[in-house]
Amino acid sequence: MHIDFSPEDLAFRDEVRTFIAENYPAELRGKQDEGDELSKEDFLSWHRILHKKGWVAPAWPVEYGGTGWTPTQRFIFSEEIARADCIRLMPFGLSMVGPVIYTFGTPEQKAKFLPRILSGEDWWCQGYSEPGAGSDLASLRTKAERDGDDYIVNGQKTWTTMAQHADWGFFLVRTNPDVKQQEGISFLLIDMKSPGIEVRPIITLGGEHEVNEVFLDNVRVPMSNRVYEEDKGWTCAKFLLAHERTGIAGVASSKRGIEKIKEIATSEMDGERALLANPFFRRKVAELEMDLTALEYTELRTLAGEAAGKGPGPESSVLKIKGSEIQQRITELALEAAGHYGAPYFRGFGEGDNEHPIGPDWAHRTAPSYFNMRKTTIYGGSNEVQRGIIAKMVLGL
Catalogue all structural domains in the chain, each as residue range(s) with its CATH number: 7-89 (no CATH), 123-231 (2.40.110.10), 249-393 (1.20.140.10)
At residue 312, the pLDDT reads 64
Rounded to 5 degrees, φ, ψ at 185 are -115, 140
For the whole model, what pTM was predicted?
Answer: 0.87
Assign 216 to helix, strand or coil: strand
Q: How many CA atoms lie within 13 A of 162 on its CB side?
A: 22
Residues 61 and 102 sit within 8 Å (Cβ to Cβ)? yes
Helix extents (H) in 64-155:
71-83, 91, 98-104, 107-119
* CA atoms of 96 and 260, how far apart (whole Å): 29
The Cα-based distances of 129 to 89, 177, 247, 345, 379 in angstroms read 22, 18, 18, 29, 9
> Could you tell me which of 85, 56, 82, 188 has the C-alpha nearest to residue 128?
188
* CA atoms of 243 and 166, how far apart (whole Å): 21
The Cα-based distances of 68 to 12, 48, 56, 107 in angstroms read 13, 19, 12, 21
The Cα-based distances of 84 to 20, 259, 289, 347, 370 in angstroms read 8, 12, 20, 26, 22
Q: ∠ at Cα 254 (253, 257), nearest 5°?
A: 90
At residue 353, the pLDDT reads 43
Q: Which class for 131: exposed (0-12), middle (13-18), buried (19 or more C-beta within 10 A)?
A: exposed
Per-residue pLDDT tens listing for the chain (397 residues):
445 788 999 999 999 999 999 999 999 999 988 778 899 999 999 999 999 999 999 999 999 999 999 888 988 999 999 999 999 999 999 999 999 999 999 999 999 999 999 999 999 999 999 998 887 888 999 999 999 999 999 999 999 999 999 999 999 999 999 999 899 999 999 999 999 999 999 998 777 899 999 999 999 999 999 999 999 999 999 898 877 766 778 888 899 999 999 988 887 766 677 888 899 999 999 999 999 999 988 888 877 776 666 666 677 888 889 999 999 999 999 999 988 888 655 555 545 444 455 778 788 888 888 988 998 898 888 889 889 888 888 787 7
User: What is the β-pairing status of strands 150-157 and 197-203?
Assistant: unpaired
At residue 354, the pLDDT reads 41
- Does the bond joining 91 to the residue before it have cis omega, within 30 degrees of 0? no
* CA atoms of 54 and 50, how far apart (whole Å): 6
> Could you tell me which of 307, 243, 246, 304 has the C-alpha nearest to residue 102?
243
At residue 94, the pLDDT reads 96
Task: Enumerate the active-site residues.
Answer: 244
* CA atoms of 19 and 17, how far apart (whole Å): 6
At residue 80, the pLDDT reads 95
